[in-house]
């Protein structure tokens, strides 16, 4: 699976988890309206703060330091790795699924828990929203493609760097193609 696609999927699944957790929070608060009268307004306030934090963290167009280290440590290969996108997503994003299921499952014991968890999922999704375009720019500049290597779910992620297509652009200063 291409690393750019993995990053896009991670952002979309994080946003989906935030939406699901927010929905569970509102439904759990509505089921016992008198006891949780202030829960939804407080949760919405936290979500607004989470949006501000996520937008601030994700404002840079460059890769984040962890992704830059991951790209720098990519193993060079002349052949494409095995194509198992579903297995890679499950192996890499199982913590997000566990986080969402546990937080949502605790909603009927304490509806605040999915409300708080939704805020963190919002931050995560917004903080990582530009990383795929930063990696795509590096791939275009270097004429390479980065793929997520299939590994154990408990081992750190590793990437494979394969040859790609470099882009030729005219240099406005001297008219030469670079």
Strand order in the sheet with 75-76: 75-76, 159-163, 144-148
25 contacts 115 by C-beta, under 8 angstroms: yes
CA–CA gap between residue 121 and residue 99 (Å, rounded): 9
pLDDT for res 54: 95
Q: Which of 37-41, 74-78, 105-109, 169-173 has the lowest mean pLDDT?
A: 169-173
Domain edges within the chain: 3-163
Of 155, 146, 150, 144, nearest to 85 by C-alpha is 150
pLDDT in tens, 9-42: 999 999 999 999 999 999 888 887 666 778 889 9
The predicted structure's pLDDT at residue 36 = 73
Closest listed residue to residue 57, CA positions, set 131, 136, 123: 123
Higher pLDDT, 43 or 37: 43
**Percent of the chain with pLDDT strictly greater than 90:** 60
pLDDT score of 177: 57
Measured in whole angstroms, the distance separating CA 20 from the mean position of its chain's CA atoms is: 16
Q: Return the C-alpha torsion angle 19, 20, 22, 26, nearest 10.
A: 130
């Amino acid at each position: 699976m291409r690393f750019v696609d993995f990053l896009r999927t991670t952002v979309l699944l994080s946003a989906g988890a935030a939406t699901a957790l927010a929905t569970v929070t509102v439904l759990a608060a509505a089921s016992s309206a008198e006891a949780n009268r202030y829960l939804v307004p407080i949760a919405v306030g936290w979500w607004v703060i989470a949006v501000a934090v996520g937008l601030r963290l994700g404002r840079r167009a460059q890769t984040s330091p962890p992704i830059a280290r991951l790209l720098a440590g990519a193993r060079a290969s002349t052949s494409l790795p095995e194509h198992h996108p579903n297995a890679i997503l499950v192996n890499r994003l199982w913590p997000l699924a566990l986080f969402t299921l546990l937080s949502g499952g605790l909603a009927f014991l304490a509806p605040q828990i999915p409300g708080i968890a939704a805020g963190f999922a919002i931050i995560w999704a917004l903080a990582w929203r530009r990383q795929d375009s930063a990696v795509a720019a590096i791939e275009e500049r270097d004429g390479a493609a980065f793929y997520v290597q299939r590994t154990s779910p408990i081992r750190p992620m590793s990437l494979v760097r394969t040859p790609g297509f470099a882009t030729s652009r005219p240099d406005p200063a001297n008219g030469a193609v670079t």
